[in-house]
Structure 1
Amino acid sequence: MNHERTYGAENFQADTGVSRETLERFVIWRRLLSEWSAHTNLVGRATLDDFWFRHALDSWQLPDLAPAGANRWADIGAGAGFPGLAIAFGLADRAVPNARVTLIESIGKKAAFLRAVLAETGLTSHAEVLAERVETLDGLPPFDVVTARAVAPLEKLLGLMAPFVENGAIALIPKGARHAEELTAARKSWNFEASLHPSITSDEAAIIRIERLTRVR
Structure 2
Amino acid sequence: MIASEDQARAYVAGLCDSVAMDRLNRLIGALAEENERQNLVARATLPSIWQRHIADSAQLLEYVPRETGPWLDLGSGAGLPGLVIAAMRPEWPVVLVESRRKRIEWLERMRDELALEHCRIEGVRLENVDSVPVGVISARAFASLERILALSARFSTSETLWLLPKGRSAAQELQELPKRQRALFHVEQSRTDPASGIIVGKLAGRKA
TM-score for the superposition, normalised by structure 2? 0.87
Aligned equivalent of 1:73 = 71
- Report the CA distance between 1:131 and its aligned residue: 0.4
Look up the match of 1:15.
11
Residue in 1 that maps onto 2:129: 137
Partner of 1:31: 29
Bigger drift between 186-195 and 46-55 goes to: 186-195
Cα distance between partner residues in 1 of 2:182 and 2:25? 41
Contact 2:99-2:124 within 8 A present in 1 as well: yes
| Structure-2 separation of matches of 1:49 and 1:187 | 40
Match in the other structure for 1:155: 146
Post-superposition shift, 1:183? 0.6
Instruction: Flag structure 2 segments of 5+ consecutive residues without an equivalent.
Output: none
Q: 1: CA distance between counterparts of 2:66 and 2:138?
A: 16
Asked if structure 1 preserves the Cα contact closer than 8 Å seen for 2:134 and 2:157, the reply is no
1:46 counterpart residue number: 44
1:55-107 deviations in Å (ceiling 9; x for gaps)? 00010011220245214100000000000011112223xxxxx5110000000
TM-score (norm 1): 0.84
Aligned counterpart, 2:97:
104
Q: Are 2:199 and 1:208 equivalent residues in the alignment? A: yes
- Once the 2 structures are TM-superposed, how far is the Cα of residue 188 of structure 1 from its aligned partner? 6.7
Q: Residue in 2 aligned with 1:177? A: 168
Correspondence list, 1:117-128, <5 A = 117-123=110-116, 125-128=117-120
For residues 195 and 133 of structure 2, the distance between their equivalents in structure 1, rounded to whole angstroms, comes to 32
Going from structure 1 to structure 2, the CA distance change for 1:190 and 1:135 (only over 3 Å counts) comes to farther
Change (3 A) 1:109 1:74: same
- C-alpha distance in 2, partners of 1:180/1:132? 30
Q: Distance in 2 between matches of 1:55 and 1:171?
A: 19
Identify unmatched segments of 5+ residues in structure 1. Answer: 93-97
Q: Is the 8 A contact 1:55 1:82 kept in 2?
A: yes
Contact 1:72 1:145 in 2 (8 A): yes
Superposed CA RMSD in Å reads 2.1
Letter in 2 for 1:135: E
Between stretches 183-192 and 74-83, larger displacement belongs to 183-192
Q: Aligned letter for 1:115?
A: E
Q: Using the TM superposition, give the Cα deviation of residue 213 of structure 1 relative to its aligned residue in structure 2, in angstroms.
A: 5.1
